[in-house]
Structure 1
Amino acid sequence: MLKPQDLRNIYGRSHENRISSRDKDIKGPNVIAIKAIVKGLVLVQLTFFLLFCYIFGTLYVSNSHVKHLGVVFVDYDQGLVGQSVWAAYNQLKGDDFPTLYPRSPSEYPTPDSIRHGVCKTDFWAGYFVSAHASERLAAALGGGEAASSYNPADVVTYVWNEARWPLNVESDLATNFVKLSTAAQGAYHALNGTGAIRALNLSSPQAVAALYNPWQVQSINIQQTNQGPRTVYNTIVVVLIIIKQFFFLLLINGVCSTFKLYLRLKPHHLVFRRLLGSSVATITGSLLLTGAIWAFRANWIVNGNQFVLTWMTYWLYEEINFFFIDAATAWVPAPFMPSVLVTWVIMNVSSTLQPIELSAGFFKWMYALPAHEMYETLVDIWSGGCNPQLYRSLPILFSWWILFTPLAMLGVLRRCHFAAIDFDKEEAAFQKRFQEAKEFERKRDRERSRDLATAAEKDSIDQEDDVELANILRKQETEIRSLYSADSRTRYGPSIVAPGTERLG
């Protein structure tokens, strides 16, 4: 069994020159440390509590906002089938069911025109009854050739774009459309049950099948998006992009701190290097991300042009996040940086979890967030232009980029400025220590120049010199540590040690 002494032997010096926690010399620092921990705990807990409330609020009673998903309904039949669909909708409509907006066939003369309207995002989907559907069904009930040639798939159809928030449109649109079709069959039997039975040719199996299964709802999917990884395109990918930029920035700050580049190089050289490094990192990172998406696309139908456009969109989004984090680490006080970063992450991913139409009105401000507009742009690319939001998404994305880029570059000047100030403080402290050492040496020389009465007296003086020298060294160590206070250590931004520089002094 491992004993406490064995643990001490592993790191033998970990217990050297330690004092008790009850020692009076540590009482003051202990109190300060406890207060700092309590303040930090309150800040962290409050930040995460508010973020939990925010993200839960974006999804709160989202089912009751399904009514905000508009669906164009066109009845080309103008008969019993169309009446049955509308009667079924009146039974199903509510907060948890998409809203059908009836339009005349003159406004949408063909199913292609409905598809075009859905493609332009005039509506989330389209639902139509084929022309002469009621006549074909009535003829099929009489048996004969009409029953044999009757096609139940050419009656009711819905048009949708699965690329737009696939999980939401599947559950809120496709599932409800199937439910509407089933309810419409019941409404048809209620409206025309007696007449249908009278006209039914019982000797024809096709006629009986037409009565009990008058139609099968069909789907026109503008862009099929049923591959497994689709669930993370608007969630985990959004988060990982931000985290990746944060860690890369830690690496940059670590290199600059290790080699004191903020003090040695001119600011415009550092700005150029930062721009070059961020460009290389974001270009390669977005390329690898796009390549991973394409590698696991399964049966997703996308082409090379869409690959390049997806790459460029992710590149812009990565650039925005890099410069946001760079600017934040330069200007936001270090104790608040974790709260700022996690808030930025949650705000962005919340804007892409589901269509904003399914959230409360307060959250419509999320249209201004870069992650939401990035995803809107990607949907337009993936569905071949069937999400024409570029008039809004691209200006918003470039506005974020234009805002954060100069702030980040100005942050480099700020870091260089404080690096020079810290160097001046260190130089002044060094000169002070140097003067104290000179005075000490002069004093010791004067004392040694005197005639010593006995060797014992000489030894006593040497011991006093050693004690005084030790006190001076302790004072110098305290001053050195004061130069690297919390403000001094963090004003350049958080950092990590770059690989290969761990042993550099």
Structure 2
Amino acid sequence: MQAVPHKSLEKFGLQKTDMFGIVFLLAGFILSVLSLFSGVLSRTENNLRALKIWVVDFDGSMSPYDDIEPIIGPIITDIIMEDFSSARQCPTLIQCTPHSFQNDSMAVRQAVYEEQVYAAVIINANATSSLQAAVTSGSPSYDPLGIAQIVYNSARDENTYYAYIIPTLFQLQTKVITKFGPRWIEMMRSNGSLNDPRIPTQALSPSIGFTEIDLRPFSPAVATPSVSIGLIYLIIIAYFAFPFLMPIHNRLNNKRQGRPVKASHMLLWRLMSNFVAYFILSFFYSLIPLAFGIPFSNPRGSTTEVIMNGNEYGKSSFVVYWMLNWVGMTALGLPSENMAMIIGAPWSALWLTFWVISNVSTGFYPLDLAPGFYKWGYIWPLHRVVEGSRTILFGTHSRIGLDFGVLFGWVGVSILLFPFAAAIADWKAVSKKK
């Protein structure tokens, strides 16, 4: 017995099975593609050990403090490693020797800036000598914050730092100060100097502290869209440039004076018009952070000192930012145009969904904390745009050559595929007419 077409679908030549087939196809798309977004965060807590924090004790390691037996540094290091070395779902703390950095604490800061590690705890070379001097001489100028440093770089990835690194560092400081106090008081009591009225109060409590050094702070807050959610619009604008320009392309493709436009000329025109359109659109996109006060002309500054909005290219930073967005928009837009020609409407909407989700998942979230499956994200366009934007806006460690190189790779491959995609689109148009 044949199925009777549903009356509301009959005029389209469809049956109920056609509708349900499409619905289940969309359901499968939801399960497979939308899962990419949740999957990138699925093992975050288990992968926190991939975030590395160095602990480097310079106490008594260099002149003129190398003739003093270090006391403070070893105690602090022991407390840290005892409490955090075996902790689960926590960044990994690694004890490093000062010789690994040629006894130079600035080399540790440089390593943090170069993103070899997420943060570092540095016990200063004068930790023991300064505290002992405060006890013996009664100097009121003693500052507990001169004992140690905590160095990090929040502009590298503000979400990871605020969610995992900085809370761990705060917990570390609290435990060290809490546990060091009783030990220090006991040491003072044992040598009979506890009741010496010359000892400044701060040398007894808290006696030690940590100076926090954020080499590249994430600021101002209005910069957030430029390195996160706002970049979704870069994809969408690049995608919708194609249907808006198609009527112009079709007009040119019609016969003029009885002679059609050559296919090669038409392909060249479409590519060049895309480059020009993306060039202009990316300029206006880049104007938005400039209009809202994000600096684009600050000097780069030292890589081992705190610099607020140290633009990597000084007064040329806006031009570099514009070029990054232009190449990024082209790398995001040309693949979308190719796919739109190959699969056509309405299936191109599924491509846009996949393109947005795959780029957002790998561009806005730390791949260090993602499952290994997501390693392909390092070559996805938006990841390189985000990384390059952070370098330009905040002066973070530069991989701008790699960023542009990957984006140009996407552009090059898209150009090579463009004639084939156009040929498929023409073949489908002719078949439809027949």
**TM class, shorter-length:** 0.7 to 0.9
- 1:76 has 2:58 as partner: yes
Residue 148 of structure 2 corresponds to 156
Alpha-carbon separation, structure 2, partners of 1:371 and 1:24 = 45
- 1:396 has 2:392 as partner: no
Check conservation: 1:166, 1:230, Cα contact below 8 A.
no
Matched ranges for 1:200-219 at <5 A: 200-201=194-195, 203=197, 207-219=200-212
- Matched AA of 1:51: V
SS across alignment from 1:220: strand
Residue 358 of structure 1 corresponds to 369
CA RMSD of aligned residues (A): 2.9
Q: 1:286 to 1:219 in 2, by over 3 A?
A: farther
- Matched AA of 1:124: Y
Deviation beyond 4 Å, 4+ runs, structure 1: 22-27, 416-423
Check conservation: 2:185, 2:204, Cα contact below 8 A.
no
TM-score normalised to structure 1 length: 0.71
The structure with the greater share of residues assigned to helix is 1
Q: Structure 2: which 5+ residue stretches go unaligned?
A: 61-69, 296-307
Residue 458 of structure 1 corresponds to none
Check conservation: 1:178, 1:217, Cα contact below 8 A.
no
Q: 1:376 to 1:95 in 2, by over 3 A?
A: farther
SS across alignment from 1:312: helix
Alpha-carbon separation, structure 2, partners of 1:313 and 1:390 = 9
Q: Deviations over 1:14-70 (max 9, x none)?
A: xxxxxxxx9998674477154333222222232223333221111124133222112
Q: 1:185 to 1:196 in 2, by over 3 A?
A: farther
Q: Structure 1: which 5+ residue stretches go unaligned?
A: 1-21, 426-505
Worse-superposed segment, 28-37 or 267-276: 28-37
SS across alignment from 1:231: helix
- 1:96 has 2:92 as partner: no
Alpha-carbon separation, structure 1, partners of 2:76 and 2:33 = 43
Check conservation: 2:56, 2:95, Cα contact below 8 A.
yes
Check conservation: 1:75, 1:105, Cα contact below 8 A.
yes
% same residue: 20
Matched ranges for 1:58-457 at <5 A: 58-77=40-59, 79-86=70-77, 87-93=79-85, 94-108=87-101, 109-142=103-136, 144-145=138-139, 148-197=140-189, 198-201=192-195, 203=197, 207-257=200-250, 259=251, 261=253, 264-296=260-292, 297=294, 300-302=309-311, 303-384=314-395, 386-390=396-400, 392-419=402-429, 425=434
Alpha-carbon separation, structure 2, partners of 1:234 and 1:51 = 23
Residue 35 of structure 2 corresponds to 53
TM-score normalised to structure 2 length: 0.82
Q: Deviations over 1:66-122 (max 9, x none)?
A: 221122322111533323332234313423332222222222222221122122222
> Which has the larger Rg?
1
Deviation at 1:422, TM superposition (A): 5.8
Alpha-carbon separation, structure 2, partners of 1:249 and 1:97 = 46
Q: How many residues align?
A: 398
- Matched AA of 1:110: D
Check conservation: 1:368, 1:396, Cα contact below 8 A.
yes
Q: 1:102 to 1:195 in 2, by over 3 A?
A: same
Alpha-carbon separation, structure 2, partners of 1:294 and 1:355 = 26
